Homo-oligomer: A and B are copies of this chain.
Amino acid sequence: MKTKEHKIPEATIKRLSTYVNYLGRLGTDSNPVISSEILGESCQVSPAQIRKDLSYFGEFGVRGVGYDTKKLEAEIKDILGINHNWPTTVVGVGKLGQALLNFDFFRNHGFRIITAFDSDPNKIGTEAANGVTIQSISNIEKCVREEKISIGIITTPVAAAQDVTDKLVDGGIKGILNFAPIKVKVPETVTLRNVSITSELDNLAYLLTQKKR
């Protein structure tokens, strides 16, 4: 796999994620070959767009035959960097945190949740899911450093989000996925992605309102 250009559009990365998710659900053992037409239809993307997305990373597929599904899945996983382990932690074991801890997706994409943190004394020391024991948030910095945790997923209430972010950063975290509906601050060395459920809903309300006006 070679990268032809440095800057790949974010939309391409999103679609690569869609393609590899679809291939995972399809099962590459039972479907050794797939055409860009079928892949495109399943992912709601044009075949030309698929070819363009993949062209950033080299030559894939055989004209008139299609893509070797196993090879395509492996190559996209390599491009996205989800073909190896990302030691991951979930901070905040409320309902959303629990949902994420039980999320099958993680295992298939190399996100290995090795620990979870919460501030509730009734939760600390209990098992959250899949053998993961909940620890006190006061252990975050030490644990992130010792366990070499790369990715922190924040699902705390707003009031705690910046504090646990700082603790993750102090421990040497590399990337944060933040679900708390507040903009947390991180140094430039840390990669931050926000999933704002509130913002998506507000946006939906706005679009529906525009239709009515």
Chain B residues with CB under 8 A of A183: 18, 43-44
Given contacts A95-B99, A175-B204, A201-B109, contact A81 B13 (CB under 8 A): no
At the interface, yes or no: A160 with Cβ under 8 Å from chain B? no
A110 at interface (Cβ–Cβ under 8 A)?
Answer: yes
Bound state CA distance, A95 and B174, in angstroms? 27
A50-102 contacts to B (CB < 8 Å): 79-82, 86, 94-96, 98-100, 102
Q: A209 interface residue, CB < 8 Å from B?
A: yes
Residue contact A207 to B175, C-beta cutoff 8 Å? yes
- Report whether B195 and A79 are in contact in the complex, using a CB–CB cutoff of 8 Å: no
Q: Interface code A160-201, partner B: CB below 8 Å = 1, 0 otherwise?
A: 000000000000001101000111010000010101111111
Select one of B21, B106, B199 contacting A17, CB under 8 A. Answer: B199
Please, how many angstroms separate the alpha-carbon atoms of A96 and B161 in the complex? 19
**Distance between A175 CB and nearest chain B CB, rounded to angstroms:** 5
Q: Mark A107-130, 1 if CB is under 8 A from B, else 0.
A: 001110000000000000000000
Given contacts A81-B209, A95-B99, A99-B95, contact A204 B200 (CB under 8 A): no
CB distance from A87 to the nearest CB of B (A): 12
Closest to A88 in B: B201
Residue A10 CB within 8 A of the other chain: yes
| Minimum distance in angstroms from A106 CB to a CB of chain B | 8
B201 pairs with A13, CB closer than 8 A: no
A4: Cβ under 8 A from any B Cβ: no
Separation of A111 and B109 alpha carbons in the complex (Å):
33
Instruction: Give a binary string over A137-151; 1 marks a CB under 8 Å from any B CB, 0 the rest.
Output: 000000000000011
3 closest Cβ pairs, A-B complex: A81-B209, A95-B99, A17-B202
Chosen A-B contacts, 21 in total, with CB atoms closer than 8 Å, are A13-B202, A14-B203, A16-B202, A17-B198, A17-B199, A25-B182, A81-B206, A86-B208, A96-B96, A103-B197, A105-B181, A105-B198, A106-B201, A109-B198, A109-B205, A151-B201, A151-B204, A174-B208, A175-B204, A193-B200, A193-B203
